[in-house]
Structures are given as structure tokens and as C-alpha cells.
Amino acid sequence: MKVFKFGGASVKDAAGLQNVANILQRYKNEPLVIIVSAMGKNTNALEAVLAAHVKQNGEAQALYDAVKESHYAILRELFDANDDIFTSVNDTFVEGEWVLEETPADNYDYMYDQLVSVGELVSSKILAAFLQKSGLHTQWLDARDVVATDNTYREGWVIWDKTKANAQRLVPPMLEKGGFVVTQGFIGSTSENFTTTLGREGSDYSAAIFSHCLDAESMTIWKDVPGVLNADPRLFENVTKLDRISYREAIEMTYYGASVIHPKTIKPLQNKNIPLYVKSFIDPDGPGTEISSDNEELYPPIIVVEKNQALLHISTLDYSFVAEQHMARLFRIAADLRIFVNSMQNTAISFTICVPNIPDRLEKFINSVSDEFKVKLETGLELITIRHYTEETIASLKKGKMVLFEERIQNTLQMVVKNIPLIERREVDIPSRKD
Ligand code: ADP
Ligand code: ASP
Ligand code: MG
């Protein structure tokens, strides 16, 4: 069997669902487990519903009604008015409404998972019903019956042995009946049957969990790009598709922030040597990118940009050297506050880390270490990572930027930069000597 994953962009409207059905017609006779995300930007929209509910500003219900209506509009385009799918989708929306009936307390992350998971539940119900209606025999599976997690809401940790047992018990009998199994990305459940989510953009990871547990022959993620490119096409022109990359390269790229694949996706696949294909749902005949075993290839420069970064310049108050026990304390506090250190450098009495700029967490960090350290915070920065760098690529990426921090390790260069204001870098003729 194979695992396919369709992200939010591929099912953002009725035409998108029709396109997915057209792609799947080509696989009519294959056993497929299909993982689907929430449609379009509905995860963001559901987050906004919860934010309004927590603020108790009276807007939550109207925002939730808008999410519901956008789904019903798609249903009306695809199904007859009396189709059972309307009731089935409505039942799921009612479960979300229960969350809005509770008074928000100290359980934000828990409420988040119960409400935001509705996006994946309804999209998978709609896709399954639409495939069935299109003549592709399809069964719907609740991913919460398979993906077992601890109760870290919003970042559920997978309990692998339980998940594997669930997958192997539930999925093969469904596939044996023929046709497809459609299930949700992003969600799982605790041992008390509460819904968890696996972290934003986690549907790629869900597909890898299913692939690993079911020993899939391959996994394919269908995206709005021709494959994995050597830079984010939203930020760069003249990008090149990578035809094949190793698991190792993919894990490095995603670790540094290449958002085309969720960073947790690669390990479960690599561990079972399951190839991952990244293909375009806009051009399904295109060759895409294959990610597989670690024969190192010759790579062009690969660029990853992480925006909204901060530098914390930490120095000891008493001029003592930054030693191991200081670092141990600093890292423990960062880990407790879930501050992810992207890069670091130290001198005798100072230590600099590059972290995502999450103001409330950074403020807590600075307060917690102020007894021993002075901390200077610098924000509005970008972290640029270049794998397989060339001097030409570095020079072109530095144009118009001030480099605050740079490090080269083997074939990876990282630099933290800020834009030089236009006024400071107005280009003028360089005076040339007359003698
Ligand atoms: P999904 O719909 O599956 O959630 P995403 O939007 O998360 O898809 O991922 C696809 C997007 O990732 C692309 O539209 C592209 O803008 C972005 N992206 C960032 N880096 C890369 C890269 N190196 N190669 C291809 N796409 C990239
Ligand atoms: N719908 C979730 C999100 O937007 C999961 C995913 O799309 O991968 O984060
Ligand atoms: Mg995504």
C-alpha cells in the first residue's frame, strides 16, 4: 500500500476537491491511505475563533459561523441538497460548538485541540464522500483511533507502539475491502480519548506516521510546487527543482526551516527506508522530487530563510567566563520555555543565541536569568542558512543586509541579518582617484 497526503491548498475549494478526485482516478485500483489537512486556511480561521472565545469579545460565534458557511458553500457545489454529508459535517461542527459553550479557563491548549481539529475532521469527511460519489470506493477513518499521543496538547508526542498496533489492527481490514481509506492529518488522541494535535503543519508528519506503522511502499505529498526547490519560490526567483535528495539532506533542510515538509516527517520514513515523493497537484504528471536513501548527490546551493528571528546577547554580570554550568542553566531555561535555539556563538564572557522572536517567551527568559546575566535583545532579524554554499551565493544574499552573526560548519553557512534601511545604502558613485 501507499500513503498520499493532500494539504490545505489542494482542497481549498470545490475545484480543488475535483482536481484531487481526478488525480486519484489514476490510482483507482491501488490500496491507498489518504491523509488530508483542513481546507485552505481553515486552521488559521479556527485559531481566530478560539482567540475571540478566549477574549470573550462576542465575536467567536460569528467567526465560527463563517467557517461553517465556507464549508457548506463547497458542499452545495458538490452534492445534492439532501446528501447525508450535510448532516455528517454538521454533527462535527456541533462538537466544536461545545467547546465554545465552555468558559475559557486555564486550559487554552486543550480547548485549541478540541476545536481546531474540527478543520481536519470535516475536510476528510467531505473528501471521502466526494470520492465515493465520484465512483472511487472510499472509507473514512478517524485518525484518533490510530494516532495515540501523550496529553501534551498542541504538540502531542506520538506513542509509537500503541499507534502501530492500532494502525495494523484497523487499516489492513479496511484496505482488504478494496478502495481508498481517507483519514485526517494533524490529529491524534490521548489515552482518555481527548483529541490532540501534533503541531502546526503536522499533516505531513501524520502521513509519515501512517507510512511507518503500515510499512508503506512509498509516501507522496501533493503540493502546489513542482517538488522540493532549492529555495522558497515565494521569496526567490530562478529556483531549481531538486530531482532527488537524500533523507539526510531533507532532514537538514527542514531542520533549518524549509517549510515545504514538516521537520518531523523524514525520520519515520528513513527508519524504514520508505521513499518520499513530493509532487505537484497542479501538474500531476511532473516528475516531482524523490527523497530516499543516503547516497550523497551533488547539490546546488540550497537556501532557507527563517524570518522573525531575535538575537539574545547574554553576558555574565561578574565578568566570569561563560562556562559549561552557565550554558547548562541557560539551555534548561530555554527548553522549559520552549525557546528553540537556531544558532549560537560564544566569547569569553558572552554568549549569543539566535531564536524565534516570541516576545512573551523571551521576556520570561530574560527575567529568569537576570540574577546572573545581562541580556541584550535584538529583533527584526532573519536567519539565512545556505547548504552547499558558494561565495557567489553568499555575496548575492548579503546585498542590502547587515550581517550580525555568521558561522560556517562543513557545507552549511548560517547568517543572521537585518535589512539596511534604504537611506543608508543609497547607491552613489564611488569617487575615483585622479592621480
Ligand atoms: P501543504 O498544502 O501541503 O500544507 P505547504 O504550504 O505547507 O503545503 O508547503 C508548500 C509550500 O512550501 C510551497 O507553496 C512553497 O511556497 C513553500 N516552500 C518553502 N520552501 C520550499 C522549498 N524549498 N521548495 C518548495 N517549496 C517550498
Ligand atoms: N491544518 C494544519 C495546519 O494548517 C495541519 C497541516 O495543514 O499540516 O497547521
Ligand atoms: Mg502545510
Q: Which ligand is nearest to the CA of 291?
A: 1
Look at residue 422 and tell me whether its pLDDT is greater than 90.
Answer: no
Check if 7 has its Cβ closer than 6 Å to any atom of ligand 2: yes
Q: 305-361, pLDDT tens digit by residue?
A: 999 999 999 998 988 888 888 899 999 999 999 899 999 988 888 899 999 999 999
Share above pLDDT 90 across residues of the chain, in percent, rounded to a whole number: 87
Among 46, 200, 224, 262, residue to substitute to test ligand 2 (most atoms within 8 Å of Cβ): 200
Q: Domain 302-424 sits in which CATH superfamily?
A: VC0802-like (3.30.2130.10)
| 228, 250 Cβ separation under 8 angstroms | yes
pTM for the full model?
0.92
Name the closest ligand to CA 198: 2
Q: Whose CA is nearest to atom 8 of ligand 2?
A: 201
Q: Which residues of the chain are in CATH 3.30.2130.10 domains?
A: 302-424
Q: State how far the Cα of 32 lies from the Cα of 20, in Å rounded to an integer.
A: 13
Q: Does residue 39 line the site of ligand 2, with CB under 6 A?
A: no
Q: Whose CA is nearest to atom 3 of ligand 2?
A: 201
Q: Which fold has domain 2-216?
A: Carbamate kinase (3.40.1160)
Grid coordinates 462538537 are at which residue? Answer: 95
DSSP state of 389: -
Does ligand 2 come within 6 angstroms of the Cβ of 6?
no
Residue 120 phi/psi, 5-degree rounding, is -75, -35
Residue 425 has pLDDT above 60, yes or no: no
Q: Who contacts 68 (Cβ-Cβ below 8 Å, separation ≥6)? A: 93
Residue with cell 479556527: 46
CA of 201 to the centre of ligand 3 (A): 4
Ligand (nearest to CA of 222): 1
State the virtual CA torsion across 235, 202, 263, 352 in degrees, nearest 10: 80
Indicate the pairing of strand 218-223 with strand 276-280. parallel
What grid cell was written down for 180? 481508498
Question: Where do you find CATH 3.40.1160.10 in the chain?
Answer: 2-216
pLDDT at 29 over 90: no
| Residue ID of nearest Cα to ligand 1 atom 7 | 260
Q: What is the pLDDT of residue 170?
A: 98
The protein residue with its alpha carbon nearest to ligand 2, atom 5, reads: 201
What pLDDT was estimated at residue 191? 97
Distance 187 CA to ligand 2 centre (A): 10
Atom 6 of ligand 2 has which residue's CA nearest to it?
A: 201
Distance CA 177, CA 259 (A): 36
Contacts of 423 (CB under 8 A, 6+ apart): none
User: Which residue's CA is the nearest one to ligand 1's atom 3?
Assistant: 7
- How far apart CA 298 and CA 287 sit, in angstroms, is 19
Q: How many helices (H) and strands (E) does the chain have?
A: 13, 16
Ligand 2 near 40 CB (within 6 A): no
Mutate to test the pocket of ligand 2, among 201, 204, 265 (most ligand atoms within 8 A of CB): 201
Query: Is the C-beta atom of 290 inside 6 A of ligand 2?
Result: no
Ligand approaching nearest to the C-alpha of 279: 1
Of 249, 260, 305, best ligand 1 pocket probe by most atoms within 8 Å of the beta carbon: 260
The DSSP call for residue 179 is S
- 113 pocket-lining for ligand 2 (C-beta < 6 Å): no
Which residues line the pocket of ligand 1, CB cutoff 6 A? 7-9, 37, 201, 223-225, 228-229, 231-234, 258-260
pLDDT per residue as tens digits for the range 408-418: 988 999 999 99
Are 256 and 388 a contacting pair, CB within 8 Å? no
The whole-number pLDDT of residue 43 equals 98
Q: How far is the CA of 199 from the centre of ligand 2 (A)?
A: 8
Pocket mutation for ligand 1, best pick of 20, 37, 259 (most atoms within 8 Å of C-beta)? 259
Percentage of the residues of the chain whose pLDDT score is greater than 70: 97
Residue 10 CA: which ligand is closest? Answer: 1
112 Cβ closer than 6 Å to some ligand 2 atom:
no
Predicted pLDDT at 324: 86
> Looking at the CA of 5, which ligand is closest?
1
User: Which residues on neighbouring strands pair with residue 314, listed in sequence order?
Assistant: 351, 375
DSSP string, 215-263: T-SEEEEEESSSS-BSS-TTT-SS--B-SEEEHHHHHHHHHTT-TTS-T
What separation in Å is there between the alpha carbon of 389 and the centre of ligand 2?
Answer: 31
Q: Which residues make up the environment of ion ligand 3, defined by Cβ < 5 Å? A: 7, 201
Please say if the pLDDT value at position 297 is more than 80: no
The mean of the pLDDT values for the chain is 94
Question: What's the CA-to-centroid distance between 43 and ligand 2, angstroms?
Answer: 6
Residue 204 CA: nearest ligand 2 atom is 8
Would you state the pLDDT for residue 347? 85
| Rounded distance between C-alpha atoms, residue 228 and residue 251, angstroms | 12
Which pLDDT band holds residue 427 (cuts at 50, 70, 90)?
A: low
